[in-house]
Structures are given as C-alpha cells and as structure tokens.
Structure 1
Amino acid sequence: MSEARKVWRTQKAGAISNLKLVDESVGPLSGEHIRIAVKSVGLNFADIFALTGLYSATPQGSFIPGLEFAGVVTALGDSTQTDLQVGDRVYGCTRFGGYATVVDVPPQHCRKIPEHWSFAEGASFPAQSLTAYYALATLAAIKPGQVVLIQSAAGGVGLQAMRMAAQMGAIPIGTVSSESKRAFLAEQGFAEVIVRGDDFAEQLHTQLNGRPLQAVLDGIGGKIQKQSFAALAPTGRLIVFGAAEFTPGNKPNWLKAAWLYLQRPRYDVMDMISSNKSVLAFNLIWLWQEQALFEELLDGCAALDLPAPFVGREFPFAQAHEALALLRSGTSVGKVVLNVT
C-alpha cells in the first residue's frame, strides 16, 4: 500500500484562495533522493508571489508552493551517496513542493539540524540564510569595518542578514517600518536601526554621520530603494533580492501593480560609471541550477555558526492561509512557520 501525505496544492497560480489542503499518495522514491517526514515548513514572500502568479519562476499549472522545510529522514534511495542516515534531523530546500508532510529531495540540498535547534528553527534557516549570505558574501563582498544598510531588518531575511553582517565584522544598519520592530531589533542586540519615515534620505544621512555606505540589501523597492542607492559611497553596491511593495492581497491588483511598475527606480549605466556604484539583483531559485554554488553557499551559511533563527509565529500545518495572511500583512517579525503534528 502506497504511503500518503497531505499537501497544500493550487491548480493554477492567480489567487491565494486557490490553495487547498489535499491528500495525495507518495510515489516510489528515486534512487538518488532521500525521503523526509516533514515536521516544519518555512514561509517566504516568494510563496505569495508564486501563488498569485507574480513570480517569474512559478510552475505552469498545478503546483505545491514552498522552498524550505525541516524533518526526519525516513528512507534513502538505492543509489544515494550521502552521509545522512535514516532518523537524522535535517533542514533542506526544494524548488517548490515544500508545503507537504512528506518530501523527496536530493541529499545535497539538506544539512543536519544542530542538536539544540527545534524543527521550526531548522525550517527557518535555509532560504533566508542562502539569500542573505549570497547577497552579503558573494555580491556585496562585504569586508570587516564596512557599513551595510539592510532593509526590512526585522523580517526573516533581514534579521539573518543583520546577524551575518555583524558576524563578518561589518557594521549593519537596519531599517524597519515601526517602533515595535525597532524595539525587537534592540532586544536582538542591534543598536543602529532606522524607523523609516517620510524623509528617509535625511534619516539615513544622519545615521551614517559621515561614514561611507558600502552596500545596501533591499527587498522593498520604490522610493526607499532609490534613496538608498543615492547614499552609496563610490564602489558601493545595491543588492536587490525582492520587491515587497508589489506584495498582493488574495490576487494581484493589476492597476496598482502597473502603476508601481511604471514608478519603479531606473538606473543609468552611464551614471553608474561616473558615480562608480553598482546595482546587482538575483533570484534565489536560480541557485537550484548551480549545484556546486548551492552547496558552497549552504556550507558557508553553516560555517558562520549563527544562533538559531528567530521564529516569530508558528501555525499548525492546516492553517496555511492564516500564516500567509500574517506574512503578507507586513506586521510579522522573524520567520513564520507551519508545523506538522
């Protein structure tokens, strides 16, 4: 008798309300994969954009969202080459398909969860850590003593980037949307935090106090991004990994999206030559096509020996819609996670 699993599946992208919890059978395990009994699933803004059809990598037709998970290894494929064993607690990544109680993945996409971490903390680590580490270490090439501005610093990626930048010896300045989020970051040990106001450019100028700004990590877009780029010192780099200003409700508001698109920042390469500043952008999904780099980055994240990720809210697996609503509200701090009981 075939194994069964529960999954959150949408028959087509376009509206979050299309996402339904269904029972499915689990097919035979590929020889090169391992099978994971999922205990926790990490949520990301990419899930929202995929479900609403605003993500370029969204699969055609029916799909299961989700990029990261944590659980227990239950089986190894016949030809799998790995040090992992049945019973190991692991976190891992998958190119969609994470909202499931059972997943089959290549073992290279998994790492053992540190003994003192929970499954929820493990599921919070891979996607946000890969995003932050690739942005800081590879694209920004941050060095000790350099100042880096990190937008949405109380969110999953932002908080991890703040921690990583500090661990690398850089000086992180975070930005947040509310005083409560600034207070949260203060509790996490970060003193340099800007609550974004109407005159963000002046706020940033005051916070820098003459220090050169070498890098900006931005997942917001719009006016804030443009002002941040203007504040960069020569050789500075703007790293763009998202556009939260486009975050939709249940389905896209195409008129609003078109207006935001027309108003988006534009950068002239001739101006960048004169100012000696750069714009770099990336999509985390691309890493799945670069296996060697993917493994290198996963190992680099683990080598930083960071504390367990901060999990802001945990929901039962059956409450994916409630969890997604909190994430897209912009009020959450840390990571939002689904737990399988």
Structure 2
Amino acid sequence: MPETRHVWRTQKAGAISNLKLVQEPLPSLASDHIRVAVQSVGLNFADIFALTGLYSATPAGSFIPGLEFAGVVTALGENAQTDLQVGDRIYGCTRFGGYATVVDVPPQHCRKIPVHWSFAEGAAFPAQSLTAYYALATLAAVKPGQVVLIQSAAGGVGLQAMRMAAQMGAIPIGTVSSESKRAFLAGQGFAEVIVRGDNFDEQLHAQLNGRPLHAVLDGIGGQIQKQSFAALAPTGRLVVFGAAEFTPGDRPNWLKAAWLYLKRPRYDVMDMISSNKSVLAFNLIWLWQEQALFEELLNGCAGLALTAPHVGHEFPFAQAHDALALLRSGQSVGKVVLNVAP
C-alpha cells in the first residue's frame, strides 16, 4: 500500500492560482471510515467559489477542494458499519477533500458504481444528482404532468435535473446560453429548450403557451431569475441552488460582485402571500451533517435508475487548472471530470 498521496491543496482561499499539486503522507485511517483509491474526481462550481473565498462553507486556512469522487475501496476501518468490501468500485461524496488520489470517508456517503458505468461517470453522479433530486423532489415537490423550468440545462446539475424531471413524469423546459447547447439537448431527447436572449420573458411566455409553470430550478440569478419567478403560476416554487452570475476569474472582482449583489433579486413575503408563490434556496454542503436525509436522497437518486450521467470533458488529474478554467468559462457541456492515471 502507498504511504503517500497526491492532492490539490490551497493554503488559503482567495485565488484559484493558489491551488498547488503536492505530495502528502497518508493519515491514519479512522476506525469508522473507509479508504478509497480515487480514479476520478467530479468538478463543481462550488469548488471555484470555495477557492476564491466566495463560498459560505469554505474552510479556514489550508484545504483541499472537491465534493465527489469515484474509485476502489482499499481498506475498511475496524468499526466501519458497511456492506462495502475491499475491491468494490464506488462513488461518494466528501465535505471538501475530493481533489486527492486517496480519500478516507464515511461509508454512508458512498454507493457502488453500476457495473456498466465508468469511474468518470461514477464521479459525475453524486453532487449534481443530489442537488437536482433535492430541488425537484423535496423542495419543488414536482408531480407528474407539471411543467418545470430548468436553467443551464446543458450543465451537470441542469442535465441531471432534466432527466430526473422527465423520469418523474413532469415536463421539463430547459434554458441554455447557445444554439450548440440546444442542439446537444435535442440529441439527448429534449424538445423544449430555450436559447436565452435579451427578451427571455417573452421567450418563456411563448414556450409555455398558456401552460401553468409549477417550478423553476435556478443557479444563475439576476434578471433571468426575476423573470422566471414572475412567470410562475399560483402555488409555483422557485428553487435556487447557486448564483453563476457571480462566478469569478482567478480571484474575486469585489467591485463587480458588490454591484451584482446590490442588483440581486429581492422577494417580498407579502407579495408572495398575495400571489401564492414561494422562493426556496439551499446549499448542498449543509446536507452532509443530516445523515438520515442524506441517505434518503442518495437512495432516491439511485432509485430513479437513470442512465449514466453525461461526462462532457475529461482531464488528467495533473491538469486541474485547465479543467477549472473550462468550467469557469461557461462553455462546458455535461460534467467536467479529473481522471487519476492507473
């Protein structure tokens, strides 16, 4: 067994360029954890916000980013309560620490990878699927036949939400930023897709064509979010899981961030009472400590029996900066993944 691991570590949040690839000794395995030789790591916008210090859950001081991984179980803690065995192929979640060639994690946050999935597909599944499922099933309480608007529908969370909504019997309408992404979604079997323009409110009104809009999943913010909320029917729910308009460069532009913050959507509860609409928002990272809910969500995601998630871009583990740059650019389709060389 190796006694060291490679990790991407930053000494302090503030700039993505501070992230360095280093070799570290392996810690002792906690008795209630399992050890995993990581093969693939899933990237998320939360990684970018954490590295730049714009994420509320960012650890103080030095930390390793990363919320999801896939690999092979190599050791079990003596008190680990699990049916997993050494040699099992698994995916899992971790509250930071995923950008590593070896991780030690609670087994409750892991599941076996379906036999026909690759490690990259396994790493692409947990964080985006938990986000989409919690937003759709728990918060939006989507029912069969209801229309659901899903922003950034060609991204990791968005594409998974489109698939889940369809599997639940709902009618997903996706929005994207380019014609190429609309064509990609058409190839995935989704006919109702809006390429967002300056007249998005008119585009949405035309697409709905008189149908009530029950739910909106939004990770963009700004004017698009306001217009989406306005289009909701009575009892409709806006579920916010991110704010991509705040995505920084290497480090935050505080003047721009302040301006966007001042212009951010605001919702009056008295108006919501009158219109019978709701706004719900969440940060997936805080669900890690809710073990019963976490397991319920993991089981719910797996229970939908979805096809393997779409991995649009794969990078070697040593090219984390290139992978993060692509994710930050907004040009990615599906999931961005780092692969550890065998």
CA deviation map 1:123-158 (0-9, x unaligned):
000000000000000000000000000000000000
1:26 corresponds to 2:26 = yes
1:135 corresponds to 2:135 = yes
Q: Quick one: distance in 2 between partners of 1:202 and 1:38?
A: 47
Map 1:54-133 → 2, pairs under 5 A: 54-133=54-133
CA contact (8 A) 1:2 1:27 kept: no
Code of the residue aligned with 2:328 in structure 1: it is: R
Give the drift of 1:2. 6.8
1:144 paired residue number: 144
SS in structure 2 of the partner of residue 17 of structure 1: helix
2:11 paired residue number: 11
SS in structure 1 of the partner of residue 224 of structure 2: helix
Map 1:297-336 → 2, pairs under 5 A: 297-336=297-336
Identity of aligned residues (%): 88
Q: Quick one: distance in 2 between partners of 1:277 and 1:304?
A: 28
SS in structure 2 of the partner of residue 100 of structure 1: coil
1:196 corresponds to 2:196 = yes
Code of the residue aligned with 1:224 in structure 2: it is: I
Q: Quick one: distance in 2 between partners of 1:178 and 1:27?
A: 46
CA contact (8 A) 1:2 1:25 kept: no
2:227 paired residue number: 227
2:212 paired residue number: 212
Q: Quick one: distance in 2 between partners of 1:201 and 1:81?
A: 51
CA deviation map 1:56-114 (0-9, x unaligned):
00000000000000000000000111100000000000000000000000000000000
Alignment RMSD: 0.7
Give the drift of 1:221. 0.1
Give the drift of 1:27. 1.0
TM-score, normalised on structure 2? 0.99
2:160 paired residue number: 160
Q: Quick one: distance in 1 between partners of 2:40 and 2:222?
A: 33
Residues matched between the structures, number: 341
Q: Quick one: distance in 2 between partners of 1:58 and 1:39?
A: 25
1:288 paired residue number: 288
Q: Quick one: distance in 2 between partners of 1:143 and 1:170?
A: 6
Q: Quick one: distance in 2 between partners of 1:79 and 1:66?
A: 26
1:270 paired residue number: 270
SS in structure 2 of the partner of residue 132 of structure 1: helix
1:184 corresponds to 2:184 = yes
Could you list the structure 1 runs, at least 4 aligned residues long, displaced by more than 4 angstroms after superposition.
Answer: none
SS in structure 2 of the partner of residue 289 of structure 1: coil
Code of the residue aligned with 1:73 in structure 2: it is: V
Code of the residue aligned with 2:207 in structure 1: it is: Q
Code of the residue aligned with 1:189 in structure 2: it is: G
CA contact (8 A) 1:38 1:70 kept: yes
Give the drift of 1:181. 0.1
Code of the residue aligned with 1:38 in structure 2: it is: V
CA contact (8 A) 1:40 1:71 kept: yes
CA deviation map 1:303-341 (0-9, x unaligned):
000000000000000000000000000000000000000
Q: Quick one: distance in 2 between partners of 1:231 and 1:60?
A: 40
Code of the residue aligned with 1:182 in structure 2: it is: R
CA deviation map 1:168-207 (0-9, x unaligned):
0000000000000000000000000000000000000000
Q: Quick one: distance in 1 between partners of 2:269 and 2:188?
A: 38
SS in structure 1 of the partner of residue 288 of structure 2: helix
| Structure 2: gaps of 5 or more residues | none
1:238 corresponds to 2:238 = yes
Code of the residue aligned with 2:144 in structure 1: it is: P
